[in-house]
Structure 1
């Protein structure tokens, strides 16, 4: 998922028949399933997510990355420091509005556009401090680490991140745990070898990993001709499900099929994708939601809340993906309702 500042680019789940079976196996159960859209917080004109996401149980704010000039300092998108974000993005005010409406925030570190902090900051203590600064400032209950492109192919950075996240979880007071998700690219064949390595490093470092959120998008040539986006996403999820069971088993935690599904998240890109030929319309979103509910996944998100509305003339060519509309005929907020169906209010 690639945010830019320019004009381009919770309650318990109503489980399906598979997930309704009693969880068996030896692994610990993850937290309650949830739904929540990503928000591109640095897209300009700035997005009023405090109002648009009101009523959602979770809203995923992307992305915190390393400051381009101070690599161990966190920033929003590489554009705004945490203090500047208070005024320019109204960050604190908007988060407060979400909480007043009964929801909460997830902070996502990384993304495709800039360096995830562990990639740029080689000092483990400074990296820990950077993560802690963000999580403490916004009192974050759930952290999402979107690891892709160059970040994905840096084993040393991935190890620094894993060790820092394990320490962050250890620091949490009893009763206020830090839920941690890894967001990774996927193909119909599942996670790449690099993606599997990132998961394995997290588990080996002692991270209590809630799950792996697969980006069911940008398949490119890995999606066979004639295969729909829903079919490709279901195939990718099933492949990732098998990999999750193997990875957790290698770390000493045997998971049942149901427990492994609870550790899978799905994140499509709604509307017209930035990869030609990839389109997720409301009908496809409903099918993906039905699949997610039937399997009993732990999370469903999408990119992005900014785009959950029809395009107008000011948005430019609707056949090309942009940060402000889906490129499809739809009702405003339709994807939020469709993808969140059965996951809570």
Structure 2
């Protein structure tokens, strides 16, 4: 075999190898973690000359360290019970003032995507405090100020059973989606391992009736003190039961299409229900499941909690998981 022929042979083998990897990635895509970040936690206050009302922490270094490409930024809520949007419902952190643009601009400059989450467990939902036309103006203004890749509607607390406000919200979301069809819409809902709550099922049926295209993101957490076994197994059980429910609602969809409608969000480390602890092993197991079925999204609560500590209480700045040894270890498990 001549030297030139041998070189060509090696080049051909290398080409075939690289093409095989590329094809495998297409046929078996890896689900990337898109973590939530409560952007008011750990806000920077010592840059007061440029940001007198503070600014969020820059997430780009964390993204680069953990191979994270996208975030969900939380939470926009009603300011003082009015039809005005602010981060954590704080007047000084209003959408009108552009609070948080430091972060969204940084993410955009570094080719990172982000969704914005409205609602949450605490505070007032804007759909409760705004009339229908005002609510559309609020959503349009959020889009104009931040240009998010998606809007996430986190339905928790007493708002879950406010069917009148939710119906109003859904009508506005449909109008918004007509204007911004490229913007992903997600409903983040409480779940049990056995499936969605009755309120969650009602919302899904109502959203379908409005003709909204959406992803259902289940909060795989806080089931109750009797749920004290493997948290990954509970999350997988909840996802499978959601699949069965959606398959009935969308009987003409393929299995692939249904799984693409499903996202899962565990609360890493110690949960509010303290018999529940989502471990690093749970992260590995859930990631394997997500990749196996190519689900529509995998999230976690939250970036700021992805730090080790030995607390026996739930904290916003660490996981309360003694087995976590370094910062962002959950993100690294999910993404690597």
Give the shorter-chain TM-score range: 0.7 to 0.9
Contact 1:35–1:301 (CA under 8 A) maintained in structure 2: yes
Separation of aligned partners in 2, 1:274 and 1:52: 29
Q: Which residue of 2 aligns with 1:167?
A: 175
Q: CA deviation at 1:44?
A: 4.5
Q: CA deviation at 1:165?
A: 0.7
Separation of aligned partners in 2, 1:197 and 1:44: 36
Q: Which residue of 1 aligns with 2:184?
A: 179
Matched, 1:321 2:305: no
Q: CA deviation at 1:169?
A: 1.2
| TM-score, normalised with respect to structure 1 | 0.80
Matched, 1:114 2:127: no
Q: Which residue of 1 aligns with 2:240?
A: 238
- Aligned-partner SS, 2:141: helix
Matched, 1:102 2:111: yes
Q: CA deviation at 1:332?
A: 1.2
- Aligned-partner SS, 1:212: strand
Q: Greater relative contact order: 1 or 2 (C-alpha under 8 angstroms, separation 6 or more)?
A: 1
Matched, 1:264 2:262: yes
Q: Which residue of 2 aligns with 1:332?
A: 327
Aligned positions of 1:244-255 closer than 5 A: 244-249=246-251, 254-255=252-253
Matched, 1:61 2:73: yes
Bigger Rg over Cα:
2
Separation of aligned partners in 1, 2:205 and 2:39: 30
Contact 1:15–1:293 (CA under 8 A) maintained in structure 2: no
Matched, 1:142 2:150: yes
Separation of aligned partners in 2, 1:206 and 1:298: 19
Separation of aligned partners in 2, 1:272 and 1:52: 25
Aligned positions of 1:144-159 closer than 5 A: 144-159=152-167
Q: Which residue of 2 aligns with 1:74?
A: 85
Q: Cα distance 1:283–1:34, how it changes in 2: closer, same or farther (>3 A)?
A: closer
Question: Please, which runs of 5 or more residues in structure 2 have no aligned partner?
Answer: 1-22, 45-55
Q: CA deviation at 1:85?
A: 5.7
Q: CA deviation at 1:338?
A: 1.4
Q: Output one character per residue of 1:46-102: Cα deviation in whole Å (capped at 9) or x when no partner.
A: 5514335434221100101111241x111111112124563xxxx111112112222
| TM-score, normalised with respect to structure 2 | 0.82
Contact 1:50–1:95 (CA under 8 A) maintained in structure 2: no
Contact 2:260–2:294 (CA under 8 A) maintained in structure 1: yes
- Aligned-partner SS, 1:266: strand
Aligned positions of 1:79-98 closer than 5 A: 79=90, 80-84=93-97, 86=99, 91-98=100-107
The list of structure 1 runs, each at least 4 consecutive aligned residues, that deviate by more than 6 angstroms after superposition, is: none
Q: Cα distance 1:13–1:320, how it changes in 2: closer, same or farther (>3 A)?
A: farther
Separation of aligned partners in 1, 2:263 and 2:113: 18
Separation of aligned partners in 2, 1:339 and 1:150: 32
Contact 1:270–1:279 (CA under 8 A) maintained in structure 2: yes
